[in-house]
A and B are shown apart, each in its own frame.
Chain A
Amino acid sequence: MGDFKVAYEGLQAEQAYVRGTGIAQASISKAIEGFPADVAHWGPWGALKPPMVAAFQSLDATNSTAAPGLGSVADLLRQVLVAYQHTEIANTVTK
């Protein structure tokens, strides 16, 4: 029971940690959203804007998927936790 409790709590902590890290990673995209657009008047520097905007959009498109990406790991850990619980219940019943 002791080993189970330690592993269970470890996985529980891991699940929350991984999900939180995914949210933090994805928050970078939101934090810098629209950055190049914040430069209101480009004048001759306007030629720099399209590649800058494209770079920010590209980063946003990929990095914003960090939350569901790491969230999927957390979901999987939850499945493992359920499996642990089932195993522990089965073992207890057998004993």
Chain B
Amino acid sequence: MTAPAPLATINPYFSNQAAEASMLQVRDKIQEICNSLESMRPVVYDTLKAMLIASLGSASAFVTTCWAAYEGVIKLAPKLVEWWNDLNQWVWAPQNILDLATAMQPAYDKATECQQALLRGAMPADKLWEGAAVDAYYAHIAKHNAASVDVQACIKSMTDALRDAGSQGVIATFVALGALIAALIDLIVGLIALIPPATPGGAAIFGLGVVAIGAIIAGLGAFAQSRVGVVTAMQSKLDGTLRSNNFPGGAWPKAESKALTTAIENVGGWNY
């Protein structure tokens, strides 16, 4: 019988490393939209100028409105790239949390192995040592086994909470990304409609797309906040377990030299 081997440091595998390229492609597309807005500027300006001349100045208010709308969109555009860069930073967080849950499995397996290693039948002395002293000894070991059982349960509840928060987060993120793509389509539709005389309408569509992106991100934040309770409940339960009688002073039980020596002295009639 040999003791369980120590567990080596776990390096979690984060699956986003392979998937980030697709997000960067979308970011590039957004950059293209922004570039298009800039390159369209002279066309819009020339068209508006032509409209003003053709109307002999009577369309001045309309042309001013179109120009203001277009300039407004131009100012919004860099913000889109900035948002997408931010999004690309954290959009993988739920998947990372899920990956952490997967990475926790060896820790749970090791905790199970250690717990089983601290059962009397699995321990070397059980086969070689007999009498009341060994019973007293294994009664003491039972405290260590109880602590090990608790740690195993804590790791399980941590893994479950990570998996729960991660998987729900991934689903919410996928739904949000779907909505973001729809908002991007709005932006493209708005972009097409920015050519005068539809400029104000196009700017409105573009603006709605931008507002939708902001709302989707805010919605994700609210959803994440709603998951906090589950994780906090797990943490609170874990704290309670790790401060129970199985962990005197919040630490693993320690053998009291005097108590066991006395027990053995009593059993064996020794005196030192």
Question: In A33-58, which residues have CB < 8 Å from any B CB?
Answer: 33, 35-36, 38-48, 51-52, 54-56, 58
Q: Are A39 and B128 neighbours in the complex by a CB distance under 8 Å?
A: no
Looking at chain B's contact residues, is the secondary structure mostly helix, strand, loop, or mixed?
helix
From B63-71, B187-195, B248-256, give the one contacting chain A.
B248-256
Q: Given the complex of chains A and B, what is the CA–CA distance between A24 and B270 in angstroms?
A: 34
Residues in chain A near residue B220, CB distance under 8 A: 43-44
Instruction: Verify A65–B252 contact, CB threshold 8 A.
Output: yes
The reply on A31 being an interface residue by CB < 8 A is yes
The answer to whether A62 has its CB under 8 Å from any CB of chain B is: yes
CB-based contact A42/B251 at 8 Å: no
Interface size on A, residues (CB 8 A): 60
Interface residues of B in 157-173 (CB under 8 A from A): 158, 161-162, 165, 169
Interface assignment of B155: CB less than 8 Å from any CB of chain A: yes
Digitize B58-89: 1 where CB-to-A-CB distance is under 8 Å, 0 elsewhere: 00000000000000000000000000001101
| CB neighbours of A13 from chain B (8 A) | 1, 124-125, 128
User: What residue of chain A has the Cβ atom nearest to residue B87's Cβ?
Assistant: A43
Q: Chain B contacts of A11 at CB under 8 A?
A: 125, 128-129
With a cutoff of 8 Å between Cβ atoms, the chain B residues found around residue A66 in the complex are 114, 147-148, 151, 252
Chain B residue at minimum C-beta to C-beta distance from A38:
B12
Tell me whether A80 is interfacial, beta carbon within 8 Å.
Answer: yes
Collect the chain B residues with CB atoms within 8 Å of residue A58's CB.
235, 238-239, 242
Nearest CB on B from A30, distance (A): 7
Q: Is the CB of A83 within 8 A of B100?
A: no
A75 to B258, CA, bound (A): 12
For B227, give its contact among A9, A48, A62, A86 (CB under 8 Å).
A48
Interface centre among B90, B127, B221, B264 (most CB of A within 10 A): B90
19 further contact pairs, Cβ within 8 A, besides A27-B7, A47-B227, A56-B158: A11-B129, A13-B1, A17-B124, A18-B141, A19-B3, A21-B114, A30-B7, A36-B100, A41-B89, A45-B169, A48-B227, A48-B228, A55-B158, A55-B238, A58-B235, A61-B250, A62-B250, A62-B251, A83-B272
5 residue pairs, one from A and one from B, having the closest CB atoms? A43-B90, A20-B3, A10-B128, A69-B252, A44-B221
